[in-house]
Structure 1
């Protein structure tokens, strides 16, 4: 399903980029053309997500004993950087155009941007649902990429509407609405890219789940007969899955084999959670 979500993003963005690009060119709307560039960047982002998801699904090997889950996080960072660069370029182009004669977009631009808003919001909700369900950093990043496109399209809608209204009422300052929307879209895109990039980098640095997020896991381990207490518990995020490092204290008088059996039961119990990929257990003698 994660792969399906990425494919939906790719084909949806190709379609939107073509529609907005053609209509933006014919209707002479700078804001809609900028929005088309934004959608085109989503295509590259979705392809990157697809590659990251496939890499993350690879089984552990000699060089990557913890699996390849971090591939999704790396992909999310790449998408965030791409998003920031696109936002900067859109803003720069809009500022350059401010020195040229003002052009008023044609009404067709309004219909294209309304269609874009409806389709993009649907894509966001679909991908956000999948990203949360499967705990995919890359898919969630790409979902918010779609949401940023919704906001940029709303800005384009207001800008195009202002330019058309200014032309009808002969209000000169409203004619710059189309260009102003381009600048606003750029700022919005860069802000979103910064937030997503910051979160992805945080996850890439061996981020562990907070104590409140591991209460259930700890309780499951403590319920196993023979576990006297948990000395240490870390649940490390590796993309869409978690790897647990746990130290448990057992009766020091039992045999090594009995201690091993207790540890095995703890591991099996924790692995019942579909988001837990592996569990590493260290057995300590209980010291009272």
Structure 2
């Protein structure tokens, strides 16, 4: 099993559920159910987008992308969040336009929607399992989205049943509630993807500097930078050493720093730049001033 196969299976299941919800929604004239169906249909489109993103992210580094293509996966998460925001606005507009319109009951439709909820519970559990096993940022995000589908469908079923008893306005309120849930999950996905896309700092710079400076031979540590591409952490920093330190010794010191970054801070790609310490030179030239 790989990420692309998981997305393919999930996309197929989402398409079937979207069609079932559309049939039920159109039959009973429920805005909330139609909104839920549109939400499920968007899942299918997002699965396709994620599938393409995975194909790009698996490509090795090249001249145009020397740091690799992993961020394409995060870009797909951002696109997923953006599409959810659009769907949420459309649901609200449609719900407001249909406030007070009659809603029909349907025992068959009820059990079809219950079946969709059960399938979605199984789907999100299964996807969480493979997200953890394959260490996929995208699958984790998609699994959370699927969990949102479960919550949405439960709310839709409850609202539909009450609306079919004569409280028609409840269907519109439920649809708006669905939109609120969609907004919430979009916000969570934005929080997850934007820091990666804009190269937000991943490590605690103070902790990194304090740990590295404990090594013998390092006079100072500065210009610490780190970022996360969705799969790996990259970091670079500058260490200063005595100007008269032999090149080989300085190189070994840089290797020690890289080892610390990898073992203690889980940095996959580390760059250590070495510079002569200006204060060390000044103190050596003016020993009286140092005292």
| TM bracket, shorter-chain basis | 0.7 to 0.9
Q: Give the one of 252, 263, 266 matched to 1:261.
A: 252
Instruction: Show the counterpart of 1:111.
Output: 111
**Distance (Å, rounded) in 2 between the aligned partners of 1:217 and 1:125:** 40
**Distance (Å, rounded) in 1 between the aligned partners of 2:200 and 2:231:** 13
2:236–2:272 contact (8 Å) kept in structure 1: yes
Worse overlay, 85-94 or 268-277 = 268-277
**Distance (Å, rounded) in 2 between the aligned partners of 1:283 and 1:10:** 50
Relative to structure 1, is the Cα distance of residues 271 and 126 closer, same or farther in structure 2, using a 3 angstrom cutoff? farther
1:239 aligns with 2:230: yes
Instruction: Show the counterpart of 1:157.
Output: 157
Report the TM-score when normalising by structure 2: 0.80
Report the TM-score when normalising by structure 1: 0.80
**Distance (Å, rounded) in 2 between the aligned partners of 1:232 and 1:137:** 29
User: Could you tell me how far 1:245 is from its partner in structure 2?
Assistant: 1.0
| Structure 2, gaps ≥5 residues long | 281-291
Instruction: Show the counterpart of 1:169.
Output: none
- Tell me, what secondary structure is at the counterpart of 1:12? helix
Instruction: Show the counterpart of 2:286.
Output: none
**Distance (Å, rounded) in 2 between the aligned partners of 1:189 and 1:205:** 24
- Tell me, what secondary structure is at the counterpart of 1:140? helix
**Distance (Å, rounded) in 2 between the aligned partners of 1:12 and 1:230:** 53
Q: How does 1:125-274 map to 2 (within 5 A)?
A: 125-128=125-128, 130-131=130-131, 136-164=136-164, 166=165, 172=166, 174-211=167-204, 219=211, 230-267=221-258, 270-271=261-262
1:60 aligns with 2:53: no
Cα RMSD for the two superposed structures: 3.2
Query: What are the Cα deviations for residues 116-157 of structure 1, in whole angstroms up to 9, with x where unaligned?
Result: 222223333444455566664433332222122112101111
1:28–1:105 contact (8 Å) kept in structure 2: no
Q: Which has the larger radius of gyration?
A: 2
Instruction: Show the counterpart of 2:285.
Output: none
- Tell me, what secondary structure is at the counterpart of 1:38? helix
Instruction: Show the counterpart of 2:12.
Output: 11
2:100–2:168 contact (8 Å) kept in structure 1: no
- Tell me, what secondary structure is at the counterpart of 2:90? helix
- Tell me, what secondary structure is at the counterpart of 1:239? coil
The number of residues matched between the two structures is 278
User: Could you tell me how far 1:112 is from its partner in structure 2?
Assistant: 2.2
User: Could you tell me how far 1:227 is from its partner in structure 2?
Assistant: 5.5
Relative to structure 1, is the Cα distance of residues 113 and 208 closer, same or farther in structure 2, using a 3 angstrom cutoff? same
User: Could you tell me how far 1:184 is from its partner in structure 2?
Assistant: 1.7
